């Protein structure tokens, strides 16, 4: 009866949550529902039973976050929460299936792996994966499951599909992270050189970037390469890679803010930040310990092994399993056998895998060392049997088919890249050709314009020279007819504006007053006793006295340029009454449309 009570109470809670969600009840409706639930509970209670239900903190937290927060320590409870979340409508059924597969994939039970694999394969055939984010999450689970099972065939298959998806979405870092997994798998399938080359390429692309996502992917690729080099028995090549992991983690510790890139993988809290750094540092110590042990440097190996064992990770089951191979090399068989006894219980009947085969291999070595040859022979026999079965399964599978498919895909991508590069180069060549044609056309147009300007300037220069020659003759004739000594000073009060202009302009020309750089209206006022207003009125016919003086100076400069080819342009400007060369050049170009230099060049050409 107690079980029935608990059942009805749990179902009532779920019913309450459903109704609350659907109708968003007010206080009175809540009170009514509470009374109904109370009556239902009383009717189902056994008066003789003294069992009282104690509510659990997670009973009303039917959400994905609640399930994922505990699935590592309490997977059964996490699965219950996921089921309840679907019932109350807090979670989409397909999304809940994916999370259920994630919980199951973290188990060491082969049956859980099988169930997780079936869930993911079914999701891959559903509309759920039409969303790229959902598809990538399911592919991540498939890669995890097949890798942990040692199923290289499916591992490469799903990894290849994920690389395609990531590149379609523009996520190059995630594609490189997955390519590292493919490189490791290829190396395990016998293509060591190609697999290691791919791992090196991934590391080289991701290295030297201070972004958390790239750093994390680089560390994963470094670990995969270390694992492969350990299989190939190349400890001397492992040491620099493990040290590089430590250097990257140390740099991350020192420049944490510079690595922040908003990646979902980035540790969100200080505690998780320190756990992340300590975990990978500890693993690097483990790699160094094993490498130095294989090289026979026992003291250095034990130094790094002690650092590893003192870390939080080194004291976990996974950490002790990682250290077991180093213990074998160093002869610490008691430590190895102690952790293998724990592992045997965890594996149960799931013995057809590479981890269990490795344990048998090490047990055989320990038994031989202690003189228990019968046990050693038994371990060797079981090891060889499992190893042969695993090798046969691998060869019979389609892993090599997928490896070849990936190779063809790489070649296709390389071909496409080359074609795109060739197309780009062709476009550049076409653009360059068009640019050259346009440049030639522009230069030709400039030359034509320059020729037209030169022709125009030559005409202007000739006209200027003719005008100067004519004015020079007029001036000479005027001086011969009326010498300065014969000029009479008129009574300016009796002259009109035009007569004053003729009189003053003649004096300015004859006496070359314009050559005085300090010439001004005041000079005429003081000499001829004419007021400023009358001088302004007299020279209004030629746009003012300053323009009149400027024109006389420019005419004189032209004559100087013609008659004195040895004088510099600057000296001509000074001799012509200009205060500086800049003003002279500007006024000359404005009046004659050519520069003084060009004008002189045309005179020299003649």
Give the model confidence (pLDDT) of 367-398 as tens digits.
887 788 788 788 788 888 887 776 676 555 54
| Domains contained in the chain, number | 2
Q: Which of the residue ranges 398-407, 415-424, 432-441, 548-557 would you say has the lowest mean pLDDT?
A: 398-407
Per-residue pLDDT at 55 exceeds 50: no
The whole-number pLDDT of residue 400 equals 46
At 407, the pLDDT band (50, 70, 90 cuts) reads low
**Residue 327 located in a structural domain:** no
Most confident region among 132-136, 437-441, 563-567 by mean pLDDT: 132-136
Q: Which of the residue ranges 88-102, 448-462, 503-517 would you say has the lowest mean pLDDT?
A: 448-462
The whole-number pLDDT of residue 151 equals 78
Per-residue pLDDT at 252 exceeds 60: yes
Share of residues in the chain with pLDDT > 90 (%): 19
CB 83 within 8 A of CB 105: no
Per-residue pLDDT at 356 exceeds 90: no
**Residue 39 located in a structural domain:** yes
**Residue 585 located in a structural domain:** yes
How high does pLDDT run on average in the chain? Answer: 79
The whole-number pLDDT of residue 47 equals 42
**Residue 239 located in a structural domain:** no
Per-residue pLDDT at 136 exceeds 80: yes
Task: Supply 358's token pair.
Answer: 């490795």
At 244, the pLDDT band (50, 70, 90 cuts) reads very high
**Residue 505 located in a structural domain:** yes
H helical segments located in 125-232: 132-149, 152-168, 172-188, 192-206, 212-231
Instruction: Read off the pLDDT of each residue in 47-74 and give the average, rounded to a whole number.
Output: 60
Per-residue pLDDT at 511 exceeds 50: yes
CB 341 within 8 A of CB 103: no
Spatial neighbors of 369 by CB under 8 A, at least 6 apart, are 331, 333
The whole-number pLDDT of residue 487 equals 52
* Interval 450-498: pLDDT, tens: 777 667 666 666 666 666 665 666 555 555 555 554 455 667 667 788 8
Per-residue pLDDT at 301 exceeds 50: yes
The whole-number pLDDT of residue 218 equals 93
CB 191 within 8 A of CB 182: no
Per-residue pLDDT at 294 exceeds 50: yes
Q: How many CA atoms lie within 13 A of 306 on its CB side?
A: 5
The whole-number pLDDT of residue 472 equals 60
Residue reference for tokens 């592919």: 139
**Residue 598 located in a structural domain:** yes
Which among 179, 173, 168, 91 is positioned nearest to 143, based on CA atoms? Answer: 179
Instruction: Render 240-290 in DSSP notation, one character per residue.
Output: HHHHHHHHHHHHHHHTHHHH----TTS--SHHHHHHHHHHHHHHHHHHHHH
What does the radius of gyration of the chain's CA atoms come to, in whole angstroms?
49
* Interval 257-273: pLDDT, tens: 889 888 888 898 999 99
Cα dihedral 576, 581, 582, 586 sign: positive
Per-residue pLDDT at 592 exceeds 60: yes
The whole-number pLDDT of residue 457 equals 66
CB 169 within 8 A of CB 177: no
Residue reference for tokens 């990257």: 248
**Residue 230 located in a structural domain:** no
CB 475 within 8 A of CB 509: yes
Domain of 20?
2-43
CB 242 within 8 A of CB 287: yes
The whole-number pLDDT of residue 201 equals 92
**Residue 551 located in a structural domain:** yes
* Interval 5-24: pLDDT, tens: 455 445 555 554 555 444 44
At 48, the pLDDT band (50, 70, 90 cuts) reads very low
Share of residues in the chain with pLDDT > 70 (%): 77
Q: Which has more confidence, 401 or 302?
A: 302
**Domain with 524 in it: what CATH number?**
1.10.10.60
Rounded Cα distance, 116 and 142, in Å? 9
At 408, the pLDDT band (50, 70, 90 cuts) reads low
Per-residue pLDDT at 402 exceeds 70: no
The whole-number pLDDT of residue 360 equals 82
Per-residue pLDDT at 281 exceeds 90: yes
The whole-number pLDDT of residue 68 equals 82
Instruction: Read off the pLDDT of each residue in 145-149 and give the average, rounded to a whole number.
Output: 80
């Amino acid at each position: 009866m107690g079980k029935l009570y608990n059942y009805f109470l749990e179902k009532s809670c779920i019913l309450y949550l459903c109704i609350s969600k659907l109708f968003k009840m007010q206080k009175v409706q809540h009170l009514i529902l509470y009374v109904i639930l109370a009556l239902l509970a009383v009717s189902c209670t056994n008066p003789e039973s003294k069992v009282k239900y104690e509510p659990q903190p997670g009973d009303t937290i039917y959400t994905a976050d609640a399930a994922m927060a505990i699935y590592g320590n309490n997977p059964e409870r996490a699965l219950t929460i996921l089921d309840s979340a679907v019932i109350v409508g807090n979670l989409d059924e397909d999304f809940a299936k994916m999370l259920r597969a994630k919980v199951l994939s973290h188990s060491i039970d082969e049956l859980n792996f099988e169930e997780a694999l079936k869930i993911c394969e079914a999701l891959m055939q559903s509309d759920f994966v039409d969303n790229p984010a959902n598809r990538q999450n399911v592919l991540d689970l498939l890669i995890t499951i097949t890798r942990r099972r040692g199923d290289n065939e499916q591992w490469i298959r799903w990894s290849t599909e994920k690389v395609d998806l990531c590149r379609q979405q523009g996520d190059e870092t995630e594609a490189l992270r997955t390519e590292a997994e493919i490189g490791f798998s290829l190396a395990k399938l016998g293509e060591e050189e190609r697999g290691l080359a791919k791992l090196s390429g991934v590391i080289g692309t991701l290295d030297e970037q201070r972004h958390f996502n790239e750093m994390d992917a680089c560390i994963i690729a470094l670990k995969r390469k270390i694992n492969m080099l350990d299989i190939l028995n190349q400890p001397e090549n492992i040491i620099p890679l493990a040290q590089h992991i430590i250097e990257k983690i140390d740099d991350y510790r020192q420049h944490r803010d510079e690595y922040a890139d908003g990646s979902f993988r980035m540790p969100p809290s200080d505690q998780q930040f320190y756990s992340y750094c300590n975990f990978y540092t500890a693993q690097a110590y483990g790699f160094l310990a094993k490498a130095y042990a294989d090289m026979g440097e026992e003291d250095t190996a034990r130094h790094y092994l002690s650092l590893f064992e003192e870390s939080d990770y080194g004291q976990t089951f996974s950490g002790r399993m990682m250290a077991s191979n180093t213990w074998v090399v160093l002869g610490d068989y008691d430590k190895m056998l102690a952790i293998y006894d724990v592992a045997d219980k965890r594996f149960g009947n799931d013995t057809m895998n590479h981890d269990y085969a490795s344990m048998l291999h090490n047990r055989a070595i320990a038994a031989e060392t202690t003189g228990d040859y019968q046990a050693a022979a038994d371990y060797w026999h079981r090891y060889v049997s499992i190893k042969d079965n695993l090798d046969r399964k691998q060869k019979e599978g389609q892993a090599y088919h997928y490896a070849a498919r990936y190779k063809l895909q790489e070649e296709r991508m390389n071909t496409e890249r080359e074609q795109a590069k060739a197309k780009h180069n062709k476009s550049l060549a076409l653009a360059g050709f068009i640019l050259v044609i346009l440049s030639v056309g522009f230069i030709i147009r400039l030359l034509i314009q320059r020729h037209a300007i030169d022709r125009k300037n030559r005409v202007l220069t000739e006209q200027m020279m003719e005008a100067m020659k004519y004015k020079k003759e007029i001036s000479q004739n005027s001086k011969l007819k009326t010498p300065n000594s014969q000029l009479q000073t008129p009574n300016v009060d009796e002259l009109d504006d035009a007569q004053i202009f003729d009189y003053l302009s003649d004096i300015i020309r004859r006496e070359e007053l314009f050559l005085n750089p300090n010439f001004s209206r005041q000079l005429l006022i003081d000499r001829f006793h004419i007021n400023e207003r009358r001088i302004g009125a007299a020279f209004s016919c030629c746009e003012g006295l300053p323009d009149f003086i400027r024109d006389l100076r420019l005419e004189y400069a032209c004559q100087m340029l013609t008659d004195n080819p040895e004088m510099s342009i600057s000296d001509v400007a000074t001799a012509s009454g200009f205060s500086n060369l800049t003003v002279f050049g500007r006024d000359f170009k404005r009046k004659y449309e050519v520069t003084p230099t060009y004008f002189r060049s045309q005179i020299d050409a003649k």
